[in-house]
Amino acid sequence: MAIASLFTLLDDIAAVLDDIALMTKLSAKKTAGVIGDDLALNANQVSGKDIRPERELPIVWAVAKGSLINKVILIPLALLLSIYLPWLINPLLMIGGAYLCFEGVEKLLHKFLHKNHENAPLVERSENEKIKGAIRTDFILSAEIVIIALGVVQGAEMMTQIISLSLVGIGITIFVYGLVGLIVKLDDIGLWLMKKHNVTAQALGKSLLFAMPNLMKALSVIGMVAMFFVGGGIFSHNLPILHHFIESLALPSSLSFLVDPIVGVIVGIIACVIILPLMKIFASGKHD
């Protein structure tokens, strides 16, 4: 009798593990698009000329820890909201999306209006700002990842949902920030390879060093565009009026991919028109 009970228990555990593995795999597939944007955004956020080479990995590590804390907050919160306040999930996502679009437009404005500002003496402040900014951005991206993953696992047992979401959250954090750490240290890897006696290694090292400036510029642009894709996508997919309007346009597939970034830019401009004057008023009030 005891042996039969043991086998039944083991069978139940195996079934739960199978469910968890399946749900985790499906969730990871569903969130792949956001993960790509997450990678580009974070690589852009934690790199730059104002960051000393020896501080690059500590910054990545600090943001990775912040990302894990974000998921520790978001996973239970998303589960509770899905049970008690499911109607609140979309508005919260759209607030996050509006913030991303605002950040994107603000970066564009800064790029074109503040080209000649010197930032050399602001290394330490810039580092702290980059960490905080990257963690804030990660919070919004993590929220979307968690909500997408929650949509996949909903209907499963609560324990399966919790474990699947936790595995997806941890796995994505390790994957994204592991790659970000590798990207920001590619120039050091290039220098290390150039010191080797092997001709192939030296050639690869030179190629990495040559490619790094262009790669970082590309990541800066991709990261900014990703803000509009993710932020605009949140609005175009979760705001019913806008979603139906876009569908009614019946755009060809060759143009449909432009919808999210265009929506993102429009939302970002509206957010800037509202937020920037308020920020100026708040700043002047603090000085007074």
Q: What is the pLDDT of residue 172?
A: 86
The mean of the pLDDT values for the chain is 78
The model carries a pTM of 0.72
pLDDT band at 123 (very low <50, low <70, confident <90, very high): very low
Angle at 112 between CA 108 and CA 115, to 5 degrees: 120
Q: Which domain holds residue 260?
A: 2-287
Return contacts of 30-35, CB within 8 angstroms, 24+ apart.
30/148, 30/149, 30/151, 30/152, 31/145, 31/148, 31/149, 31/168, 31/172, 34/141, 34/144, 34/145, 34/148, 34/230, 35/145, 35/172, 35/175, 35/176
pLDDT 10s digits, 175-206 = 888 888 888 888 888 888 888 888 888 889 88
Overall number of domains in the chain: 1
Predicted confidence at residue 6, as pLDDT, reads 44
Give tens-digit pLDDT for 84-94. 888 888 888 88
Confidence tier at 71 by pLDDT (50, 70, 90): very high
pLDDT score of 46: 67
What's the pLDDT score for residue 120?
A: 45
